[in-house]
Amino acid sequence: MSDVIKLLPDHIANQIAAGEVIQRPASVVKEMVENAIDAGAFKVQVIIKDAGKTLIQIIDNGSGMTENDAVMSFERHATSKVRKAEDLFALTTKGFRGEALASIAAIAHVVLKTRKEETETGVSIEIEGSKIKKKEACVCPVGTSFEVKNLFYNVPARRNFLKSDNVEFNHIIDEFERIALAHPDIAFSLHHNDNEIYNLHSAVLRKRIVDILGRNSNDKLVPIEESTDIVKITGYVGKPEFAKKTRGEQFLFVNNRFFKDSFFSHSLSKAFDGLIQQKMFPSFFLYLDIDPKKIDVNVHPTKTEIKFEEDKLIYSIILSSVRQALGKYNIAPTLDFNRETSFDIPYEMHSKPAVEPTIHVNKNYNPFQSSPAKTGNSFTAAIKAEGFGSNEASPKDWQSFYKIEEEESEPEVVELNLEINNQLTKNFLIRGKYILTNCKSGILVIDCQRAFERIVYDELINKFISNPISSQKLLFPLEREFSSNEKNEWINNQVMLERLGFYGEFQDLNLSLSAIPAVLQEESIHDCINLILESIAYQEIGKGEIAHVIVQSIASASGKRKSAMQNNEAAEALVEQLFQCPEHSFTPRGKKIIQTLTIEEIALKF
Ligand code: ADP
Ligand code: MG
């Protein structure tokens, strides 16, 4: 019997490859403009006729090619960008497969004109269906011009598959915008059937975004900036009130390459939780800078999907930095220097005259002082002034008021002084567990343990964004038995756990912990590990929530230990730190930290 297997001729192999890389005119634009950028161009012109079905021309002022390179460039797997296998793992160029030109030349009429600076004349090559038809010296500027005509002329199925000019041209605009946003420093122009669609000058990122989205967009942008040892994030998100009904304004870039990633997009949507309505989408232009060794670009023929080694960490870093930026914007919109209006005055206030704000505070208000205070304005007087009658208030009353039953001893009431907003406020520490403090409507009762949990959580999350959090070595390693499921989950999340301060090794199912987060006391480790395992091994949690869950566990375990506050300074510092947390009313797990007792509620007790 005769053998039947034959190697495909090059032109057929190229046509097949073209099917993957070149799906439509927009793909040609993408590949060719990327080549121009890789060639160091700082000016790229894109000229389109009939949505690219008749002509796609890309002119650049990059390095140009020698005659030999120009011929070689159309060969399959011909590339100047990758020399050895390792290069694939540290890509700094857009292209690397050496497939685009070979594919395009297999399915279109191509004219290439190119010249290097060193030579007086350039070379012109005409190629059709992978065959060179003409090659001659030519006069042309330094750089490269590719004309791609009659795309898919020899693949009718593909040509018929193309959509209307409108649709195809919109795809071209999408690709053009993605590349232009990735490279604000490069000048780009786009012409369609002799109409100028874009003429973008080299600019800073904000200007480039505004040039593409339109002038009104400047006011919408909130800057994002975060630098960590894993990833550097820069860019802008749209203010919540400008959210869109479609995902049209969502752009992610890594090392100046546009990519799509539903996981990271989810992180951004999550950052906007509660700020925008359901089914609305935030705008974002987010640029990740990351060591090229830590990403894999080579997972998809058009390179729009990228694998990240540390995707969970990056998710958390995006989430936190966008939340932080939005928080800043919400608190201080007038600090946005790019705003045209200088004050944000609520609409209903516009017609009212300005009134100097005043605050009435009884500086000496002290619910535990049963005799008139030396300054005269006593608790009794204060209560009376509110229309209530009791002359006597003793710590005992408060004890029963709070029904603290588990401890036998008399309540220990320590009087603290604390400066908040330059107002002298008195605080009282009760049994090392609660702090009472004065407020306008009555009394605030602060749960020390929960307050501590919130403070530690905020501190760790903020630190963790930019650096691994500090770890303390244990004098004697701590041993702990895991189930096999727990062990798997621990190992799955090891990078994150180490970043948060846990170092250890398994021998079978036994974890020997050699270092723990510095904020944890040794006696809380078991508690903390239980809390972590409860979440990572027994609950459905999103990949991106893991950092938050672990930090919550650390905060909660350390809160328990420290909660018995015995000294005044610690309690004072606690109140001060708590009120510096943007969210000071609830713990990260959503438990109330502060209860308010209004004067009316207190009165009802008598
Ligand atoms: P890749 O970009 O993956 O290397 P391509 O098929 O897109 O593969 O291009 C093949 C080669 O042709 C490139 O590696 C580069 O050396 C050269 N080339 C392509 N376009 C240009 C250009 N505009 N300017 C200079 N050289 C180019
Ligand atoms: Mg290329």
Which domains are assigned to the chain? Answer: 10-200 (3.30.565.10), 205-328 (3.30.230.10), 364-404 (no CATH), 411-606 (3.30.1370.100)
Ligand closest to the CA atom of residue 39: 1
Question: Which is the closest atom of ligand 1 to the Cα of 31?
Answer: 7
Q: How remote is the CA of residue 129 from the centroid of ligand 1, in Å?
A: 18
Q: How remote is the CA of residue 12 from the centroid of ligand 1, in Å?
A: 21
Q: How remote is the CA of residue 426 from the centroid of ligand 2, in Å?
A: 69
DSSP state of 468: P
Q: How remote is the CA of residue 450 from the centroid of ligand 2, in Å?
A: 56
Question: Which is the closest atom of ligand 1 to the Cα of 101?
Answer: 6
Q: Which residue has the higher pLDDT, 484 or 344?
A: 484
Which residue's CA is the closest to the ligand 1 atom numbered 14? 79
- 156-165, 298-307, 409-418, range with the lowest pLDDT: 409-418
Strongest mean pLDDT among 226-240, 399-413, 466-480, 556-570: 226-240
Q: Which residues contact 110 (CB under 8 A, 6 or more apart)?
A: 74, 104, 125, 126, 127, 128, 146, 147, 148, 149
Which residue's CA is the closest to the ligand 1 atom numbered 8? 98
Residue 286 pLDDT > 60: yes
Going by C-alpha positions, the residue among 198, 369, 181, 168 that lies closest to residue 257 is: 181
Bridge partners of residue 58, in order along the sequence = 46, 146
With the most atoms of ligand 1 within 8 angstroms of its CB, the residue from 33, 68, 101 to mutate is: 101
Ligand 1 surroundings by CB, under 6 angstroms: 31, 35-36, 39, 60, 62-63, 65, 73, 78-81, 95-102, 144
Q: What is the pLDDT of residue 173?
A: 95
Ligand closest to the CA atom of residue 30: 2
Q: What is the pLDDT of residue 556?
A: 87
Question: Which is the closest atom of ligand 1 to the Cα of 146?
Answer: 23
Question: Which is the closest atom of ligand 1 to the Cα of 102?
Answer: 6
Q: How remote is the CA of residue 303 from the centroid of ligand 1, in Å?
A: 16
CA within 13 Å, CB half, 105: 27
- 187-201, 226-240, 530-544, range with the lowest pLDDT: 530-544
Which residue's CA is the closest to the ligand 1 atom numbered 17? 73
Q: What is the pLDDT of residue 235?
A: 96
Q: How remote is the CA of residue 548 from the centroid of ligand 2, in Å?
A: 40
Q: How remote is the CA of residue 64 from the centroid of ligand 1, in Å?
A: 10
Ligand closest to the CA atom of residue 106: 1
Which residue carries 């030579």 as its tokens?
119
Q: What is the pLDDT of residue 480?
A: 87
Q: How remote is the CA of residue 144 from the centroid of ligand 1, in Å?
A: 10
Average pLDDT over residues 292-301: 80
Strongest mean pLDDT among 315-329, 392-406, 415-429, 532-546: 315-329
Q: What is the dihedral of CA 242, 246, 248, 249, to 10 degrees?
A: 20
Which residue's CA is the closest to the ligand 1 atom numbered 13? 79
Q: Which residues contact 113 (CB under 8 A, 6 or more apart)?
A: 122, 123, 124, 138, 140, 144, 145
Which residue's CA is the closest to the ligand 1 atom numbered 12? 73
Token couple for 274: 């509660």
Q: How buried is 593 (Cβ within 10 angstroms: 0-12 exposed, 13-18 middle, 19+ buried)?
A: buried
Mean pLDDT of the chain: 80
Strongest mean pLDDT among 141-145, 242-246, 376-380: 141-145
Q: How remote is the CA of residue 83 from the centroid of ligand 2, in Å?
A: 15
Distance of alpha carbon 79 from alpha carbon 87, whole angstroms: 12
With the most atoms of ligand 1 within 8 angstroms of its CB, the residue from 73, 77, 179, 257 to mutate is: 73
Distance of alpha carbon 162 from alpha carbon 66, whole angstroms: 35
Residue 479 has phi, psi (to 5 degrees) of -95, 145
Question: Which is the closest atom of ligand 1 to the Cα of 34?
Answer: 2
Residue 393 pLDDT > 50: no
Q: Which residue has the higher pLDDT, 405 or 193?
A: 193
Q: State the pLDDT confidence band at 416, using cuts at 50, 70 and 90.
A: very low
